[in-house]
Amino acid sequence: MLLDHSLMGRTALVTGAGKGIGRACAVALAQAGAHVIAVSRTQSDLDDLQAELGASVETWRYDVEDTAFHRRVEGLNRLDVLVNNAGTNAPMPFVDVDESTLDRLMALNVRSVFLTSQAGVRAMSGGEGSQGAIINITSQMGHVGSPNRTVYCMTKHAIEGLTKALAVELAPAGIRVNSVAPTFIETPLTLPMLNDPEFAAFVQRSIPMGKMGRVEDVAAAVLYLASPGAGMVTGHSLLVDGGWTAQ
């Protein structure tokens, strides 16, 4: 029996959909038949996505930390899939982390995910036979530690914990909650780090498969977890890390 990865007739919302992993997720979900709500702060990125996907995508220009965004999500008539992808990083030595950096990463990487999920659950129908799915984009750094990434690791570990807790609480309502935890993927966020030859060599050595992932690798994992084919999968973190955390 072939697994059912079709999302025909479903509505999926993706945050941070303008670039990188979020954009790839929006494209994959749309290609699987979903009506995609793509959320980004950058209108030009949304316009490009609209030009590519046409009527299968609806674009929302919001900061995911804004209360107005959460209220709009909560007011949706239908929401089947929520992909919490928006996030950021600011690598620096632990002793150099200032309060504004700490607060900024906590607000975007943790607080906004919590509030967006809360709004999304209120919009999901739930109930028997529901295919409601929340997918949090975390990181391999939500499973391990790494130098100069204390705040980022802390926030991603927090979302891994939130994923498990929500999976247990929302299972009776038919809503599945999982995470996708990628290794370093070349995106606009990571490119400046990977342009450092020493750091790029460290990353390459740390991945047993000997290569960095692509945004399409992450989107494929998201598509699986969003689909009926993952109907018994909840509370799981799907590592797309080339073996980094298996060592």
**Residue range 28-81, pLDDT digits in tens:** 999 999 999 999 999 999 999 999 999 999 999 999 999 999 999 999 999 999
**Residue range 215-228, pLDDT digits in tens:** 999 999 999 999 99
Listed in sequence order, the residues at least 6 apart from 205 whose beta carbon sits closer than 8 Å to its beta carbon are none
**Residue range 202-213, pLDDT digits in tens:** 888 999 999 889
**Residue range 190-202, pLDDT digits in tens:** 888 888 888 888 8
Q: What is the pLDDT at residue 194?
A: 85
- CATH code of 27's domain: 3.40.50.720
Orientation angle between helical segments 67-74 and 112-123, nearest 10 degrees: 20
Average pLDDT over all residues of the chain: 94
Q: What is the pLDDT at residue 187?
A: 83
The domain containing residue 155 runs over which residues? 11-187+214-239
Q: Determine the average pLDDT of the residues in 150-159.
A: 98
pTM for this model (two decimals): 0.94
User: Is residue 209 one of the residues assigned to a domain?
Assistant: no
Q: What is the pLDDT at residue 188?
A: 80
Taking alpha carbons only, the member of 184, 65, 64, 86 closest to residue 136 is 86
The DSSP line for 72-83 is HHHT-S---EEE
Q: What is the pLDDT at residue 53?
A: 97
User: Is residue 196 one of the residues assigned to a domain?
Assistant: no
Structural domains of the chain, count: 1
User: Is residue 141 one of the residues assigned to a domain?
Assistant: yes
Q: What is the pLDDT at residue 5?
A: 77
The C-alpha atoms of residue 173 and residue 236 are separated, in whole angstroms, by 17
Q: What is the DSSP letter of 185?
A: B
User: Is residue 2 one of the residues assigned to a domain?
Assistant: no
Residues taking part in catalysis = 152, 156
Q: What is the pLDDT at residue 123?
A: 95
Taking alpha carbons only, the member of 175, 86, 83 closest to residue 124 is 175
The C-alpha atoms of residue 148 and residue 153 are separated, in whole angstroms, by 9
User: Is residue 1 one of the residues assigned to a domain?
Assistant: no
- Secondary structure E strands in 73-218: 81-84, 132-137, 175-182
Q: Determine the average pLDDT of the residues in 230-246.
A: 97
Would the pLDDT of 154 be above 50? yes
**Residue range 137-148, pLDDT digits in tens:** 999 999 999 999
Listed in sequence order, the residues at least 6 apart from 15 whose beta carbon sits closer than 8 Å to its beta carbon are 22, 39, 64, 83, 84, 85, 86, 112, 116
The DSSP line for 162-180 is HHHHHHHHHGGGTEEEEEE
User: Is residue 204 one of the residues assigned to a domain?
Assistant: no
